[in-house]
Amino acid sequence: MFSDLPLLSLIIWLPIIGGLVVLAAGKNDVLVRWLALIFSILTFVASLPLYTGFDNGTYQMQFAEQMPWVATFNINYSLGIDGISMPLILLTSFTTVLVIIASWEVIQNKVSQYMAAFLIMEGLMIGVFAALDAVLFYVFWEFMLVPMFLIIGIWGGQRRVYAAIKFFLYTFLGSVLLLVAVLYLYFQSDSFSILDFHDLRIGMTAQVLLFFAFLIAFAVKVPMWPVHTWLPDAHVEAPTGGSVILAAIMLKLGAYGFVRFILPIVPDASHELDWLVIVMSLVAVVYIALVALVQEDMKKLIAYSSISHMGFVTLGFFLVFSIFDNTNSVAGAALGLEGALVQMISHGFVSGAMFLCVGVMYDRLHSRNISDYGGVANTMPVFATLMVLFAMANAGLPGTSGFVGEFMVILSAFKANFWIALLASTTLVLGAAYTLWMVKRVIFGPVGNQNVAALQDLNGREALVLGTLAVLVLLLGVYPAPLVEVMHASVGHLLEQAVSSKL
């Protein structure tokens, strides 16, 4: 029924056009909010058939579209999704709806530009996940920085300018190397199609150089230690909506780059240098978790926790090689990869929810400092319940979505190397420590001060947003099968590519 419709183009361009309409609507804030909401909901609804119409049985690209774009350089407008990108697109279209509802009356300044920036960014992010042409990918990837730059810079906090420019330059530095790498592959294959890159044979030296170019580009975006320093600044200064999008989706773009570019295009270099990524991931998991422990600012704490959790994702990707060496089969390796992908989705929900929770408190007290709170549960019981639930998910409690991915990755880590698994497992302790300690200081105990005593509990809008996320976190925690099923075929194919030599 939907096969004739260019569905991917629709969900890329609908929000972008929506953004322009919202901009044109201008000064009428009420109209702007409703228009933005309608466009985001329409996009979300339009993205649902991607799931219902998805064929789990194949790793081939589905819903594919192709048109010539720049004939001189053989660049095509080609789109398509597989089991890896499809859930991420749904995550994007879903999160945008929440962000727009969450910003409803919080943003009072330049509302139309704010809403338009989020809608345009939604289209661009979906574009990144759906692009099958490397230049198209790059265009979406890079242009996305502009709305995010404006969001942080216009609606951000005290040091917003510093954070916005740091965010931009850091990611720009990474992506220009991606551009050079892509152009080199174009020179080798005379095509910009990512799928053609997958089949290209490349020598080892070239693979290693490409590996580093890609690694810098994607590691900055993930972000991995030691190129993570832009993230805490960007998160702290960004408005709540910006933080949510940043944590829930933008970080996933970096991880998505790993599976779309690094593993299939330069498998031999990845195999050779997997220790590097594993070390970087473990440092993120352990050291960054310790850094999170000492934060005074809630947003900063969650930002560091995001880095730590994303370390799990990259760890899961690169465990593949040692598992394959140990067991000589790809079957065992699939668990780690799928765990990492589940972790991506779960982290999208959980970190988004955590930032929204901080946003709820910030809107009331205009402070993000842990010490300004205490005993919030006494005045905001509903909120406290939800926040504790998300904190548990962040700590990886069984029954929540946070547990599923981490557990799968740790399980597969044991197949790779005991010590890696041991270090990775510390996250269960450290994650619980920094999250629960924060919750204890903010939510529980006696009422901290006058301001906290005067707090109002969630209004209907906030409850709707956080409630929806809570349901999803639990659902994914108890029954992750629908998510894992769609990935199976694609993950299997990715593993084949990752372990077969291209030399």
Partner 1 sequence: MSNMNFDMPNFALALPEIFVLCMACVVLLADLFVGERNRVVTYLMSQATLVGAAILTVGLHTGETQMTFGGSFISDTMGDVLKVFIYLVTAVVFLYSREYLRVRQLFTGEYFVLGLFGVLGMMVMVSAHSFLTIYLGLELLSLSLYAMVALQRDSIGATEAAMKYFVLGSLASGMLLYGMSMFYGVTGSLDITEVGAYLAQSHDKNIVLAFGVVFVVVGLAFKLGAVPFHMWVPDVYHGAPTSVTLYIGTAPKIAAFAMVMRLLVEGLGDLHMQWQGMLIMLAIASMAVGNIIAIAQSNIKRMLAYSTIAHVGFLLLGILTGTENGYSSSMFYILVYALMGLGGFGMVILLSRAGFEADRLEDFKGLNQRSPWFAFIMLILMISMAGIPVSVGFWAKLAVLQALIRADMTWLAVVAVLFSVIGAYYYLRIVKLMYFDKPEDTSPIQPALDMRVAMSANGLAVFALGVYPSALTALCVAALK
Residue 257 CB, nearest approach to partner 1 (Å) = 16
Q: Which residue, 72 or 450, is less far from partner 1 as judged by CB?
A: 72
Instruction: For residues 402 and 341, give the distance between their C-alpha atoms in angstroms, rounded to a whole number.
Output: 12
DSSP state of 105: T
Q: Which residue, 183 or 478, is less far from partner 1 as judged by CB?
A: 183
Q: 3-state secondary structure string, 128-143?
A: HHHECEHHHHHHHHHH
- Residues comprising the chain, all counted: 503
Which range binds partner 1 by CB under 8 A, 67-75, 362-370, 395-403, 466-474? 67-75
Instruction: For residues 29 and 381, give the distance between their C-alpha atoms in angstroms, rounded to a whole number.
Output: 32
Which range binds partner 1 by CB under 8 A, 55-63, 168-176, 270-278, 429-437? 168-176
Residue 259 CB, nearest approach to partner 1 (Å) = 23
Which range binds partner 1 by CB under 8 A, 38-46, 88-96, 153-161, 462-470? 153-161
Interacting residue with partner 1 among 37, 38, 42, 165 (CB under 8 A): 165
Interacting residue with partner 1 among 161, 331, 453, 454 (CB under 8 A): 161
DSSP state of 299: H
Per CB under 8 A, does 149 bind partner 1? yes
How many Cα atoms within 13 Å fall on the side-chain side of residue 95?
Answer: 35
Interacting residue with partner 1 among 38, 41, 146, 388 (CB under 8 A): 146
Instruction: For residues 182 and 111, give the distance between their C-alpha atoms in angstroms, rounded to a whole number.
Output: 38
| 76: β partners | 68
Residue 187 CB, nearest approach to partner 1 (Å) = 5
Q: Which residue, 164 or 393, is less far from partner 1 as judged by CB?
A: 164
H or E element: which one contains 69? Answer: strand 62-70
Per CB under 8 A, does 300 bind partner 1? no
Looking at residues 459 to 488 of the shown chain, list those that interact with partner 1 (rule: CB under 8 A): none
Looking at residues 188 to 217 of the shown chain, list those that interact with partner 1 (rule: CB under 8 A): none
The phi, psi pair for 463, rounded to 5°, reads -65, -40
> Is residue 6 packed enough to be buried (19+ CB in 10 Å), middle (13-18) or exposed (0-12)?
middle
Q: Which residue, 68 or 398, is less far from partner 1 as judged by CB?
A: 68
CA distances (Å), origin 393, targets 38, 65, 190? 30, 38, 46
Residue 181 CB, nearest approach to partner 1 (Å) = 10
Interacting residue with partner 1 among 81, 164, 259, 345 (CB under 8 A): 164
Per CB under 8 A, does 287 bind partner 1? no
Residue 227 CB, nearest approach to partner 1 (Å) = 14
DSSP state of 159: T
Per CB under 8 A, does 72 bind partner 1? yes
| CB distance 37 to 50 below 8 Å | no
Report residue 40 as tokens. 């985001």
Instruction: For residues 284 and 278, give the distance between their C-alpha atoms in angstroms, rounded to a whole number.
Output: 10
Residue 231 CB, nearest approach to partner 1 (Å) = 18
| CB distance 295 to 248 below 8 Å | no
CB atoms within 10 A of CB 328: 9
| CB distance 395 to 431 below 8 Å | yes
Which runs of consecutive H residues, i.e. helices, occur in 246-380?
A: 251-257, 263-265, 267-272, 274-283, 289-293, 298-327, 330-365, 376-379
Residue 64 CB, nearest approach to partner 1 (Å) = 21
H or E element: which one contains 40? Answer: helix 29-52
Per CB under 8 A, does 70 bind partner 1? yes
Which range binds partner 1 by CB under 8 A, 2-10, 170-178, 421-429, 458-466? 170-178
Q: Which residue, 172 or 418, is less far from partner 1 as judged by CB?
A: 172
- Write the binding mask 105 to 144 for partner 1: x where contact by CB under 8 A, - elsewhere: -----x--x---------------------x--xx--xx-
Per CB under 8 A, does 13 bind partner 1? no
Residues making contact with partner 1 (CB under 8 A): 69-73, 110, 113, 135, 138-139, 142-143, 145-146, 149-150, 153-154, 160-161, 164-165, 168-169, 172-173, 176-177, 179-180, 183-184, 186-187
